[in-house]
Amino acid sequence: MGRYEKCKTAIQIENGEAIQYLERRFLPKGEEIGFVGETQIGDGERLDQLANRTVGDPLLYWKLADANNAMNPYSLVDSPTIKIPKKK
């Protein structure tokens, strides 16, 4: 499931032109996601490397952010440890 899969599509009319967009995505509560454990952040480890190591795909970094209640995913690498979400 993609990050925006549950977001509804909306249309706004500007200057007579219909502009389609996705409605706002509200962050889930990390506590409701479920975890398989925690991991330490490696020295100099990038967000894509962290996502690849923990959830198996560098593009799924947003799952780590959701599980750790991080509005800014890049702030995760500044933490000593993070929670690893369950794979769905």
Which pair of tokens denotes residue 80?
């000593």
Which pair of tokens denotes residue 44?
């100099």
* Per-residue model confidence as pLDDT tens for the chain (88 residues): 688 788 899 999 999 999 999 998 888 888 888 889 999 998 999 999 999 999 999 999 999 999 999 989 888 888 899 999 987 6
Q: Any idea where the domains of the chain sit in the sequence?
A: 28-85
pLDDT at res. 26: 83
Alpha helices in the chain (DSSP H): 47-55, 61-67
Q: 């190591």: which residue's tokens?
A: 53
Which pair of tokens denotes residue 23?
């409605």
Choose among 65, 64, 66: nearest CA to 53. 64
pLDDT at res. 30: 84
